[in-house]
């Protein structure tokens, strides 16, 4: 699994008991990078997703990625924020989609907040669904919690 927007590796820790091995992390925050390096010694940690490419991963020996997973930044979609959606500087779904296309993973998992369904009048979520379909993936979604 290629882990994007990894934070401190919560998704990766949940996947590990099922035999899913993380081959690389992409995480911008230096504190989170330090935690990942401590918890996963020897697993590459890349910084800004906008600077990471499929070719770079391949050059670094990361050639088989079955799953690409991550919770792309949600602050612009959250009902607790200003709901700038695609106008938010932290809107990075296009970067996640680019990486998924470049590494050609068979599976993908994308996580976000419930507000993604309605931000930008639903257009942002529609873009995500369109991009996933254009990649050739089937898509399903759900909302958990209150």
Catalytic sites, residue numbers: 74
HSE-CB for 125 with a 13 A CA cutoff: 19
Give dist(CA 91, CA 112) in Å, integer: 11
Give phi and psi for 94, each to the nearest 5.
-55, -35
- DSSP per residue over 91-111, as a string? --HHHHHHHHHHHT-SEEEE-
- Are 115 and 77 a contacting pair, CB within 8 Å? yes
Q: Which tokens in the block code for residue 115?
A: 């507000």
Other C-beta atoms within 10 Å of 61: how many?
9
């Amino acid at each position: 699994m290629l882990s994007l927007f990894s934070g401190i590796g919560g998704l990766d820790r949940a996947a590990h008991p099922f035999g899913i091995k993380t081959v690389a992390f992409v995480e911008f925050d230096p504190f989170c990078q330090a935690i990942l390096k401590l918890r996963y010694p020897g697993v590459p940690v890349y910084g800004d997703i906008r600077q990471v490419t499929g070719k770079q991963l391949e050059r670094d020996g990361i050639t088989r990625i079955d799953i690409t997973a991550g919770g792309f930044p949600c602050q612009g979609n959250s009902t607790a924020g200003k709901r700038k959606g695609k106008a938010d500087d932290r809107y990075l779904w296009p970067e996640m989609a680019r990486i998924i296309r470049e590494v050609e993973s068979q599976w993908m998992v994308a996580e976000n907040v419930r507000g993604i369904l309605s931000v930008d009048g639903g257009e942002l979520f529609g873009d995500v669904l369109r991009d996933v379909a254009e990649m050739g993936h089937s898509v399903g979604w759900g909302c958990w919690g209150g």
